[in-house]
């Protein structure tokens, strides 16, 4: 369920600030002008707009509940007021002169500038259709669905914290069902009668295609060892005991370029970003000759 208060708590109290007071109701009157002032510090409508358009949590919240935009704008202003007031109070107490605080501020500046310069270096990165298709052809294994099995199953559910007696009772029931199948009972009819999987029960236990990597390794190993057309003995999983029928084996499938175009673009951009960053860092290492001091002060050039 959507929880507005919780989202606001996540978005606006990351600095342990409690929103107090507030502005009058209604959205911001314009995109220009000063919205708030504390001493020599001011907050403009454009400043608020930048926050509204770049903060991921705020963007998602407005997407879900656009009618809350005005309230969120007011909270952004209130947050700025609270931070500015506490900032002035900290300076009044002389915390900005504290060597430890100065060191932290220096580190924050370093991280901020490093992040900004990386964003600028990567901002012009684009991709063409031809580049994406070449990347796709070169990395088809990334866009291949692994081997699968078309399955039906009967699940005898066992609660996660069930005691030994409960587990033994469930296993005994599964073995009894398996015996009925051995005597010629139809799998689909027993699935409808006994299975605790409500999603597949009315479909005769049909769970569609299970591909490698979709389930826990122990269960996967046993299921994929079955022959096409066979019915398993009871197989334990975190959900209980399964009797599995392998309808057919499904070979790996390479998805078409059009199916995975968005994913290809994301993967391509990420790879290019890594290449750009790696090259930039190497150039900077050569330029600034960093050193790392380890093991009792021994100096070695940073690799």
Average pLDDT over every residue of 235-239: 95
pLDDT above 80 for 173: yes
> What integer pLDDT is reported at residue 225 of this predicted model?
96
Within 10 angstroms of residue 78's Cβ, the number of other Cβ atoms is 19
Of 25-39, 77-91, 228-242, 271-285, which gets the smallest average pLDDT? 25-39
Q: With a threshold of 0.75, does the pTM exceed it?
A: no
Q: What are the structure tokens assigned to 30, written together?
A: 């314009």
pLDDT above 80 for 9: no
pLDDT above 60 for 298: no
pLDDT above 60 for 3: no
pLDDT above 50 for 12: no
> What integer pLDDT is reported at residue 165 of this predicted model?
96
pLDDT above 60 for 215: yes
pLDDT above 60 for 4: no
> What integer pLDDT is reported at residue 136 of this predicted model?
98
> What integer pLDDT is reported at residue 201 of this predicted model?
96
pLDDT above 70 for 184: yes
72: nearest Cα among 85, 89, 59, 81: 59
Q: How far is CA 171 from the centre of its chain?
A: 37
Helix (H), strand (E), coil (C) string for the chain? CCCHHHHHHHHHCCCCCCCCCCCCCCCCCCCCCEEEEECCEEEEHHHHHHHHHHCHHHHHHHHHCHHHHHHHHHHHHHHHHHHHHHHHHHHHCCHHHCHHHHHHHHHHHHHHHHHHHHHHHHCCCCCCHHHHHHHHHHCHHHHEECCEEEEEEEEEECCCCCCHHHHHHHHHHHHHHHHHHHCCCCHHHHHHHHCCCHHHHCCCCEEEEEECCCCCHHHHHHHHCCCCCCECCCEEECCEEEEEEEEEEECCEECCCCCCHHHHHHHHHHHHHHHHHHHHHHHHHHHHCCEEEECCCEEEECC
> What integer pLDDT is reported at residue 33 of this predicted model?
87
> What integer pLDDT is reported at residue 297 of this predicted model?
53
Q: pLDDT by residue (tens digit) across 139-171?
A: 999 999 999 999 999 999 999 999 999 999 999
> What integer pLDDT is reported at residue 32 of this predicted model?
58
Q: Confidence band (pLDDT; 50, 70, 90) for 23?
A: very low
Average pLDDT over every residue of 19-32: 43
Of 21-30, 165-174, 291-300, which gets the smallest average pLDDT? 21-30
Instruction: Report the distance separating Cα 88 and Cα 40, nearest Å.
Output: 10
pLDDT above 50 for 181: yes
Q: What are the structure tokens assigned to 39, written together?
A: 């001493």
Within 10 angstroms of residue 290's Cβ, the number of other Cβ atoms is 11
Please name each of the domains of the chain with its CATH number.
Answer: 4-97 (no CATH), 99-144+261-303 (no CATH), 147-251 (3.10.50.40)
23: nearest Cα among 60, 79, 77: 77
Burial class (CB in 10 A: 0-12, 13-18, 19+), 293: exposed
pLDDT above 50 for 113: yes
> What integer pLDDT is reported at residue 122 of this predicted model?
95
Average pLDDT over every residue of 225-249: 97
pLDDT above 70 for 96: yes
Distances (CA, A) of 251 to 100, 209, 214, 228, 266: 61, 11, 15, 12, 27
Q: Confidence band (pLDDT; 50, 70, 90) for 299?
A: low
Instruction: Report the distance separating Cα 241 and Cα 300, nearest Å.
Output: 58
Instruction: Report the distance separating Cα 51 and Cα 35, nearest Å.
Output: 14
pLDDT above 80 for 130: yes
Of 55-64, 84-93, 239-248, 259-268, which gets the smallest average pLDDT? 55-64
pLDDT above 70 for 13: no
């Amino acid at each position: 369920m959507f929880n507005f208060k919780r989202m606001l708590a996540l978005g606006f109290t990351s600095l342990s600030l409690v929103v107090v007071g507030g502005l009058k109701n209604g959205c911001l009157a314009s995109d220009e002008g000063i919205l708030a002032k504390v001493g020599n510090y001011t907050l403009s409508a454009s400043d608020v707009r930048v926050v509204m358009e770049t903060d991921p949590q705020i963007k998602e919240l407005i997407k879900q509940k656009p009618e809350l935009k005005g309230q969120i704008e007011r909270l952004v202003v209130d947050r700025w007021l609270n931070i500015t007031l506490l900032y002035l109070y900290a300076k009044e107490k002389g915390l900005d002169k504290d060597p430890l605080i100065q060191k932290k501020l220096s580190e924050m500046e370093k991280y901020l500038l490093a992040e900004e310069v990386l964003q600028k270096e990567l901002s012009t990165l684009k991709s063409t259709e031809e580049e994406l298709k070449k990347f796709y052809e070169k990395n088809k294994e990334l866009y291949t669905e692994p081997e699968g099995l078309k399955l039906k199953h009967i699940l005898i559910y066992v609660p996660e914290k069930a005691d030994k007696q409960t587990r033994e009772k469930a296993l005994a029931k599964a073995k009894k069902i398996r015996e009925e199948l051995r005597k010629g009972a139809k799998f689909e009819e027993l699935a409808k009668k006994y299975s605790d999987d409500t999603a597949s029960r009315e479909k005769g236990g049909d769970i569609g295609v299970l591909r490698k990597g979709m389930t826990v390794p122990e269960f996967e190993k046993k299921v994929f060892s079955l022959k096409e057309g066979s019915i398993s003995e009871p197989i334990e999983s975190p959900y209980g005991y399964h009797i599995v029928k392998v309808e057919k084996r499904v070979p790996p499938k390479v998805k078409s370029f059009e199916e995975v175009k968005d994913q290809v673009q994301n993967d391509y951009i990420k790879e290019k970003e890594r290449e750009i960053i790696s090259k930039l860092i190497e150039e900077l290492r050569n330029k600034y000759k960093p050193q790392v001091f380890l093991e009792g002060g021994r100096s070695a050039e940073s690799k």
